[in-house]
Amino acid sequence: MERTPPDSIPTAAPAVGSNEQAREREVVVKAVNLHKSFGDLEVLKGINLEVHFSDVVSVLGSSGSGKSTLLRCINYLERPTAGEIYISGVPMGFRLDSQGQRHSASQRTINHMRQNIGFVFQQFNVWPHMTVLENIMEAPVHVKGMTRAGARELALRMLERVNLLDKQDAYPARLSGGQTQRVAIARALAMEPKVMLFDEPTSALDPELIGEVLATMERLAEEGTTMIIVTHEIEFAHEASDRIIFLHDGRIEEEGPPEQVIDNPRSERCQQFFSRLKHRR
């Protein structure tokens, strides 16, 4: 896989020296005893999770194990039934008063916090009536209030990161699925979020287009982008992740570096899951 060296991307190059180390220890996403039920169905049964600055964490698990619900709770698309989410230490969806009582956050505060979280879905999230460049400029202009000139310059930098500068004036209908998903990634990056969440970003793609999207995500990982990725692409997860979380029935069944969780899983369930995935190829 050919890649541009990370030092050619000034926006994403992490700071150097002790400053960088301090940032790397920053906990960007924290989930504390997170529960989520839909009616009688308990989908998340107490998830504890810490994702540090520039960590790449892949979440794997069978269909229905709660992976999407976990991502959706992190940016409050789903409201947790119990437990807490913190984004860089700030509670998501609630605030504590001086007596320590919990109150729901306003929709405005939630929307504001969501700007810190980029979300890339299985289904490509782009506007068909806007060019690629306009798609990426849209939120920086309308949500962040950037000037069009500033947003344009930012959008071009993001297009460079997903290797699509040559498509800036194209409409999405003219793009392949892989290119469209890379535009969706650039759109999310343009808000300069603290963390990028990916929910099976390659599951809707034709097999021959999966590689280009995974290559883009690997590049982001190498640049130090903090990411939580739900994927079934086991080789990519092994290659790109600092940590694997194996979710089963709403609980973290196993967690650790890829060499441990994918290559030497402890639990029988995890062993079965990975041997099935490996034999599919």
Least CB distance from residue 71 to Mg ion, whole Å? 8
Whole-angstrom distance, CA of residue 202 vs CA of residue 121: 9
CB of 230 to Mg ion, least distance (A): 6
Nearest approach, Cβ of residue 134 and ligand ADP (Å):
31
- The site for ligand ADP (CB under 6 A) is made up of 38, 41, 43, 61, 63-69
**Helix, strand or coil, per DSSP, at residue 121:** coil
Buried b (16+ CB within 10 A) or exposed e, 222-234: bbbbbbbbbbbbb
CA proximity to 46, closest of 37, 59, 56, 58 = 37
C-beta of 170: minimal distance to ligand ADP in Å?
32
CB 184 to ligand ADP: min, Å: 18
- 163 touches, from Mg ion, ligand ADP, none (C-beta below 5 to 8 Å by class): none
Question: For residue 3, what are its two tokens?
Answer: 């890649």
- Minimum Å gap between C-beta 68 and Mg ion is 3
**Binds 63: which of ligand ADP, Mg ion, none (CB < 5-8 Å by kind):** ligand ADP
Q: Which does 43 bind (CB under 5 to 8 A by kind): ligand ADP, Mg ion, none?
A: ligand ADP
Choices 12-20, 67-75, 90-98, 202-210; region in contact with Mg ion by CB under 5 A: 67-75
Residue 231 lies near Mg ion (rule: CB under 5 A): no
- State how far the Cα of 92 lies from the Cα of 110, in Å rounded to an integer: 7
Burial of 167 (0-12, 13-18, 19+ CB in 10 A): buried
Cα Dmax for the chain = 56
Q: Give alpha helix (H) positions in 192-244.
A: 207-222, 234-240
Kindly tell me which of 68 and 226 has the beta carbon lying closer to Mg ion.
68
Angle between helices 132-142 and 148-161 (to 10 degrees): 130
**68 scored as a contact of Mg ion (CB under 5 A):** yes
Q: Any idea how long the chain is?
A: 281
Give which of ligand ADP, Mg ion, none residue 66 binds (C-beta under 5 to 8 Å, depending on kind).
ligand ADP
Instruction: Rank residues 63 and 99 by Cβ distance to ligand ADP and give the closer one.
Output: 63
Q: Which residues are at the interface with Mg ion (CB under 5 A)?
A: 67-68
